[in-house]
Structure 1
């Protein structure tokens, strides 16, 4: 293998694939990056056996071939080099030689034949989505995923591909977030899958807002095809929870407030909340609400009043302030709608003016009140 390549072009793709290379692994080959030089250019491939990422870059190929080199070392030396043309070739013992205007470097490697092959993939269906739509479907839900590995289904985002729409759902048991995007090109129910948060966060870092991504769904894997990048990820093979059961069938009270004003007030008041429970109390009246927090151990407390519109006379409810702030942070409209059944029942949070073709619903469990 022998080729020449622009340093900046190479570093751009290295920044993508290095995120897949594990910091530590008992399987040493997964800490390498596979370099494949063909007449079409150079492909860089990295895998941790759950996710595989391949990125293409143009180069001047003198001799096609492949090499598997220590990923972190390759990334770090390219990062430190200034803009120039880089020249690569492979020694017989799998070491990669890098020649530059500043010096020569030899990077340890492994036999590229040992690099893990991608599992066989049989596509069941595919869908093409604009990247701005795909980004919103993910960003508006992935924050609510669980980190509890004992509940693997909840550590990913649930994708529903139904006739006329796509819905994404995530929950950790304390909060739930759903996004529905109307997609007329889906003319029949295609299926449902759970995609890991790690794969989705990796995808988010590589979405070009002006482009489109093709999602290919198989029985055990999903493939994201971007402009010059491919992400291949194992699906979470678990049954998802019946999230419909936790959505209240009827609403008794509704409150509308300015999103930014409510968020700012909660941020200030929560500074005085108990650092363990993070509890704040909302006393809601017809045309205003009081937000209260107290830390009995240190004697601090705070109370603010902000305007709102409420359909009842008085309603008192408590929240974990961190969870409530995270939910409000994902409301894009200037006003937020909060819907209640009773103080100990799930609260629905929606934007008052959602974007066209979208339906967003978030659910937050209140906390038991220490003080009313």
Structure 2
């Protein structure tokens, strides 16, 4: 088979799907892309057995049909060095030889039989739940929660985003037991109530390809696998097989102390003071009163300390509470709002962080566990 394609267009698609490929694979064939041509459509597949990502593109000039596996590194490394130009790719489906021809020369290597490439998972039709999601809303939800997921071998269910869909709304949740992020939207609704846990890796991959997506995304899942269908991509992934904890049970309803503060001002202040904290604990003390937040941190071992005052709108009881600097930086970096509101109950209970103004069809909430203060 033979086809013509733009070098930059092909490289862009290969770069997207190549993120699925692990650096070390137990099956050598997983180091390859699967190229398949049917009619005038070229589909390119990459997989790590748990997640499969497929991209499709229409070809104007094509001869023949078939499929072949091509070593990903060879192809990516060659295409990376091309300026945008037309390429002709010729594949012998009998010997699996691949020849890339440009205006300046040609490159050839041997692929493998496409029949050896693993088949992607299929859904159980009797147990499939589906919904349609605006790409921008789904991107917002994943971006707001994936950072809070864990890397915990003992509790794998924490290593992904919980998709909790009902006939009224969709809720996405990520947590590592120290911090929790919840994104709820009424712009996405399911045909019935159901839940699945999407692992962090495919969630991050989906986030990267949603950035340029404008069409609605079709999401289907059963008890084991999930499929996300975009205009030019399709992702099939194995879910985390475990029951997600009751996230609503750990979210406090309200607290006596409420603060509204400029998000970037607080974020910058925390970053500066964090330089002066103990590297092991990364503890920053928040003292809140009189329409200001007093941030302080120190490392006694190195005789370094820092403090800063951040103006805020304050309501309720004065309070002191400690947070891990890296966690509060992560949290504030992932709230897309000019002002942030946070509610405190006491120094031993988690703080609730939200945008000061929420959109009508979505609600974002972040929870952060405090650190112990030694008075």
TM-score, length-scaled by structure 2 = 0.94
Question: What SS class does the counterpart of residue 157 from structure 1 fall into?
Answer: strand
Q: CA deviation at 1:250?
A: 4.2
- Tell me how large the CA RMSD over aligned residues is: 1.7
Gaps in structure 2 of 5+ consecutive residues: none
Aligned to 1:203: 206
Partners of 1:4 and 1:44 in 2: how far apart? 15
Question: What SS class does the counterpart of residue 272 from structure 1 fall into?
Answer: coil
Q: CA deviation at 1:308?
A: 2.2
Partners of 1:120 and 1:209 in 2: how far apart? 24
Deviations 1:291-328 (A, max 9, x none): 11111011111111222233334211111011011111
The answer on whether the counterparts of 2:162 and 2:172 sit within 8 Å (CA) in structure 1 is yes
The answer on whether the counterparts of 2:4 and 2:89 sit within 8 Å (CA) in structure 1 is yes
Question: What SS class does the counterpart of residue 356 from structure 1 fall into?
Answer: coil
* Match status 1:54 vs 2:54: yes
Aligned to 1:284: 288
Gaps in structure 1 of 5+ consecutive residues: none
Aligned to 1:88: 89
Partners of 1:239 and 1:313 in 2: how far apart? 38
1:270-309 alignment runs, 5 A limit: 270-309=274-313
Query: Structure 1's 195 and 111: CA in aligned 2 closer, same or farther, altered over 3 A?
Result: same
Question: What SS class does the counterpart of residue 199 from structure 1 fall into?
Answer: helix
Give the alignment partner of residue 362 of structure 2, picking from 353, 358, 368.
358
The answer on whether the counterparts of 1:286 and 1:313 sit within 8 Å (CA) in structure 2 is no
Partners of 2:337 and 2:209 in 1: how far apart? 26
Q: Which 4+ stretches in 1 moved above 6 angstroms? A: none
Partners of 1:284 and 1:82 in 2: how far apart? 56
Aligned length: 370
Aligned to 1:263: 267
Give the alignment partner of residue 353 of structure 2, picking from 329, 349, 352.
349
Query: Structure 1's 227 and 267: CA in aligned 2 closer, same or farther, altered over 3 A?
Result: same
Aligned to 2:231: 227
TM-score, length-scaled by structure 1 = 0.95
Aligned to 2:15: 15
Deviations 1:22-73 (A, max 9, x none): 2221210111111112212211111110111111122221111211111111
Question: What SS class does the counterpart of residue 148 from structure 2 fall into?
Answer: coil
* Match status 1:248 vs 2:252: yes
The answer on whether the counterparts of 2:260 and 2:313 sit within 8 Å (CA) in structure 1 is yes
Question: What SS class does the counterpart of residue 202 from structure 1 fall into?
Answer: helix
Partners of 1:111 and 1:70 in 2: how far apart? 11
Query: Structure 1's 333 and 88: CA in aligned 2 closer, same or farther, altered over 3 A?
Result: closer
Deviations 1:216-271 (A, max 9, x none): 11221111111111111111111111222222244232222222222221111111
Partners of 2:349 and 2:12 in 1: how far apart? 49
Q: CA deviation at 1:273?
A: 0.7
Question: What SS class does the counterpart of residue 198 from structure 1 fall into?
Answer: helix
Query: Structure 1's 215 and 301: CA in aligned 2 closer, same or farther, altered over 3 A?
Result: same
The answer on whether the counterparts of 1:9 and 1:57 sit within 8 Å (CA) in structure 2 is no
Q: CA deviation at 1:163?
A: 2.2
Aligned to 2:79: 78
Aligned to 1:139: 143
Deviations 1:183-220 (A, max 9, x none): 3x637533011001111111111112532211111221
Question: What SS class does the counterpart of residue 146 from structure 1 fall into?
Answer: coil
Aligned to 2:121: 119
